[in-house]
Amino acid sequence: MTTIDANGVTLGIEAFGDDGAPLVLLAGGTTMLSWPDALCERLAAGGRRVVRYDLRDSGESTTTDPESPSYTLRDLAADAAALAAVLGGGPVHLAGIGVGGMVAQVAALDHPGAFSALTLVGTRPVAPGPPDADLPDHDRATMRRLFTRPMPDWTDREAVARFAAAGAEILGDDPVAARELAARVWDRTPGTAPALHTANQLGMVFSRLDCAPRWRERLPGIEVPALVVHGHRDPFFPVGNGEALAREIPGARLLVLPAAATAIPATAVDEVAGAMLTLG
In a domain, 99, yes or no: yes
Three-state DSSP class for residue 97? strand
From 209, 216, 261, select the one nearest 235 (Cα to Cα).
261
Let me know the angle formed at the C-alpha of 181 by 245 and 200, rounded to the nearest 5 degrees.
Answer: 65
Average pLDDT over residues 181-186: 91
In a domain, 92, yes or no: yes
207-243 pLDDT tens trace: 566 677 899 999 999 999 999 999 999 999 999 999 9
| pLDDT above 90: residue 196 | no
In a domain, 175, yes or no: no
Give the range of the structural domain holding residue 62, as residue numbers without chain letter: 2-129+202-277
In a domain, 184, yes or no: no
Are residues 96 and 109 in contact, defined by beta-carbon separation less than 8 angstroms?
A: no
| pLDDT above 70: residue 3 | yes
- The alpha carbon of 125 is separated from its chain's Cα centroid by a whole number of angstroms, namely 14
In a domain, 185, yes or no: no
Q: CA-to-CA distance for 183 and 244, rounded, in angstroms? A: 34
In a domain, 149, yes or no: no
Count up the domains in the chain and report the number.
1
In a domain, 260, yes or no: yes
pTM listed for this prediction: 0.94
Instruction: Give the chain's mean pLDDT.
Output: 90
140-179 pLDDT tens trace: 999 999 999 999 988 899 999 999 999 999 999 999 999 9
In a domain, 49, yes or no: yes
**What band does 62 get if pLDDT is binned at 50, 70 and 90?**
confident
* Domain harbouring 74, CATH code: 3.40.50.1820
